[in-house]
Structure 1
Amino acid sequence: MPRIFKILILLIIAFNFSVEKINAQTPVPICGQLNSFTGMTRGYWFVSPVNFTICGIYVPTNMSMAAQSVAIVRFNNNTPPPAWPGTTNAFVQLFLQQNYVPNNMIPCNVVVAQGDVIGVYGSRGNAVNSYGNPNCATTINGQPTTLVRSGFQFNLAGLPPANIWTEAWYNIGRVIIYYNCCPPPPPIPNMNGP
């Protein structure tokens, strides 16, 4: 009988460690909720201080519980978007999910290199945005960067990103990105024999 209990305890411990790894993603900290805006999608851009992979994205529910629409872009030549009223389409769309109904992190797999200028956008329902502080200071993998307000003049739920601009001294659209979602794969042994 004691052997069965030992096996059962080992199985419970193993299960708990596997569940912990599944939920071990790290959010990039964003500034707190200040107010809201509805009608057009907002977000931010940043210069990546490190190489990392964005493995999840989420629009907070401070202002709405409706479906999420999110996008991640990389600006060409590491050039941030121009100040409003200027706009740019000089970017590569890396991820787009429109009208995502579950209220949880949206899985993705976006590889980011140090120095990349990345745009992150998101809103809920009819372009409901949760606003945070302008020029939000944060860290990615312990290295500092700044989230700078950016957006476009329509609802992301119906169209992909286009005509992107920045307004450095205004509130960012609060969208959380995650990294460190998956443990590295185990090494594959070298098989040189028969």
Structure 2
Amino acid sequence: MLVLLVTGVPAAGKSTVARKLSDWGHTSISLDDDNSTCSWPYPDGLQDPQPDHRNNSSSPLPLQRTWNPDRLDEIISTARRGGVQTLWLCGQSANASELRDRFDACLLLEIDQTTMRRRLNDIEPSDGVCRADASLISAIASYQGFVATWRRLGAVPVDGAQDPDQVCQDLLMTAALATLGRHR
């Protein structure tokens, strides 16, 4: 089974890609929308699956979203047992780079900061599901470091500013090339 991570800065299109690939018949999961995978650690050590729930002024802000490694392994194992050929996992977390050994390839949806700003301003507030750290200020502050880290780790860049259909076509082509590389 081929396990692919599609990551990117906030508003790069990770959840859109997950939905589109699923609509096209592929097995894809938006990890950003999965409360059982995401949590936000607080400086006091508590974990919160929905950070808006500790919403009083005396509480410290949560740190960046993290993924539960055991839950990630469970998702991958379930897909493998189910005979999935290619599993697309789409999302961003502070500990994703530490978990990259679980992925056959990491694909980086790249967008410029202007596109990121526009998309973040257009996002409708969701139920607090894995979006609390996607504020415009924190997104801009972390943009360059995030992109530089994933490029250094060898993530394959894909132009995320394109139409979602084209982004998904590019991702499928990249996955096909990754598959060919595994069979050499």
TM over 0.5: no
So what's the TM-score if we normalise by structure 1? 0.25
So what's the TM-score if we normalise by structure 2? 0.26
Decide which structure has greater strand share: 1
Answer with 1 or 2: which has the greater Rg: 1
